[in-house]
Amino acid sequence: MFNIEFSNQSKKFLKKSDKQLAMRIIESIEVLGNDPVPHDSKRVVGEDRTFRIRIGDYRVLYEVDWNKNLILIDKIDKRSKAYD
């Protein structure tokens, strides 16, 4: 079981978004606690420990620290802004 931590940007995004979208995103993130690299996740090019999951038009970028059993949610944003 992995612990999940949120960056300030990801917390702010979830607070600003509507409740239905926030719940969809949180449900997808909770799945990562049991399976940090699900079949639909992709490794971000150029990054060793950074992965992304797709939730409609939104992307969740996260890092996995295997030694500490920790997942850090780096960024949540629309696809057009997520990789900036």
- pLDDT tens digit string along 3-54? 999 999 999 999 999 999 999 999 999 999 999 999 989 999 888 889 999 9
80 pLDDT exceeds 80?
yes
First-to-last C-alpha distance (Å) of the chain: 30
57-64: average pLDDT: 95
CATH code at 27? Answer: 3.30.2310.20
- Model's pTM, two decimal places? 0.90
84 pLDDT exceeds 80?
no
Quote the pLDDT of residue 78.
92
The total domain count for the chain is 1
Q: How far apart are CA 50 and CA 7, in angstroms?
A: 14
Supply the range of the domain harboring residue 28: 3-82
